[in-house]
Amino acid sequence: MSTEVRLPTLLRGSANGQAVVNADGDTVGEVLRSLAVTYPGLEGQILTADGSLHKFVNVYLDDDDVRYLEKLDTKVAPGSVLSILPAVAGG
Amino acid sequence: MAIANSVLDLIGNTPMVDVSVLSPNQDVKIFIKLEGGNPGGSIKDRVALSLIEDAEENDVLKPGATLLEPSSGNTGIGLALVAKVKGYHLKVVLPGNVSPERRQLLLIYGAEIIESPGSEGSNGAVRLARKLAAEHPEWVFLYQYANPANPKAHILGTGPEIWRDCPEVTHFVAGLGTSGTLIGVGSYLKEQNPDIQVWAVEPPSGEMVDGLRNLDDGYIPPIFTEFGGEKLLDRKTVVGPRDSIEWSKKLAEIGIFAGISTGAALAGAIKCAKQIDHGVIVIISPDGGWKYLSTGAWTDDIDVVVERAKKTIYF
């Protein structure tokens, strides 16, 4: 199943300048891993070498941060959108 | 009614109001704690007082000292108020794209503004303030993002007030900025009742992050990490400017004129209310709407306002 993934400006250079890409997978982790296969420049940027989520990267399934769902095991339903955003400060 | 000796004695003890009429589920109540009634106009008055009094108690702050702080607005305004009353000088590192009302309030309370690039958002203000703090060891850098006195204001104040006024609370929803409110109130409430769920609401970082050069410019407030934020939060959800503004306007329709981040927190509460069968959701309204009038949020066309909001820091 193909899922729409929105990339932040910072990572678009590693994906031929695209803001929106598609990747296959039934879970968030699978989608992110297949993304790095299609765009090798993303390797190590979203997921670290040990396969966990980069500390300063937030991944949202629709509007929810996946760290507070089932993390990388969160199931991706058809039609949902993954957004990748860098962690920034508020306040 | 008692007469306060100092305006600082008026900080805290804010009211809560039932806005369940806006709830999509009649078995879910929604209460808002209105922080706009603090003398400096926001919940950050509590943080400012806590940061400064903690520094006084630890002898970090001598009479007449100069303080330095990065802030997109409310903490700066709160610190400016407390510093003015207590006789300290304040320099605020402020992103260039905050609303003009915030800038004016800082000046009214006598603070000096050091501008950081608007395109770098709050991250840029934090970065510049840290650099200036390193260059000027004579300035006192209270650093709200890393100072335990920030969540402490809510562990000792905001949290106990909510528990006193609403022990039936099942969910607490608030905006994630420095994380001080969520960490402080959230950990206090969970200590009273571990079943209480804590939900964070945040604005989309969107165009605010265009100034980032690489991912390692990302930022997680040290207090979030130190106080176990990831373990404490049960949910974190993004609310965009359109939803935030629409819910702020719905609040105005029932007579509550609150800031745009209140609309965001309410949107989070509405989402929560749709997902649970019954419960009592308490949300925080960090400030009133006054500082956001220039955004036209309540009066201009929503599409125009949303575009404008994407370029402004409104949280």
B68: domain CATH number is 3.40.50.1100
The residues of B carrying an active-site annotation are 44, 261
Residue A36 falls inside a structural domain: yes
Residue B2 falls inside a structural domain: no
In a mutational test of the A interface, the residue from B42, B182, B198, B205 whose CB has the highest number of chain A CBs within 10 Å is B205
Residue B78 falls inside a structural domain: yes
Q: Domains in chain B: how many in total? A: 2
Rounded CA-CA distance B124/A90 in Å is 11
Other CB atoms within 10 Å distance of the CB of residue B6:
10
Q: Domains in chain A: how many in total? A: 1
> Secondary structure of chain A: what % helix, strand, coil (to 5)?
30, 30, 40
Nearest by Cα to B203 from B146, B260, B126, B138: B260
Give me the sheet containing B66-70, strands edge to edge: B112-116, B89-95, B66-70, B140-141
Residues B237-286 pLDDT 10s? 999 999 999 999 999 999 999 999 999 999 999 999 999 999 999 999 99
pLDDT at B119: 82
Flag whether pLDDT at B121 surpasses 90: no
Report ipTM for this prediction.
0.92
pLDDT at B212: 61
Q: Which residue of A has its CA nearest to B143?
A: A91
Residues B227 and B198 in one domain: yes
Distance from CA of A91 to the nearest CA of B (A): 4
pLDDT at A89: 64
Residue B12 falls inside a structural domain: yes
The CATH number that applies at residue A28 is 3.10.20.30
In percent, the amount of chain B with pLDDT more than 70 equals 95
Rounded CA-CA distance A76/A13 in Å is 25
In a mutational test of the B interface, the residue from A63, A74, A81, A82 whose CB has the highest number of chain B CBs within 10 Å is A63
Residue A74 falls inside a structural domain: yes
Cβ distance B23 to B30 under 8 Å?
yes
Boundaries of domain holding B92 = 44-141
| Subunit contact B218:A91, Cβ cutoff 8 A | no
Distance from CA of B1 to the nearest CA of A (A): 34
Nearest by Cα to B142 from B225, B232, B223, B43: B223
- Single pTM value for the model: 0.94
Residues B71 and B129 in one domain: yes
Residues B116 and B192 in one domain: no
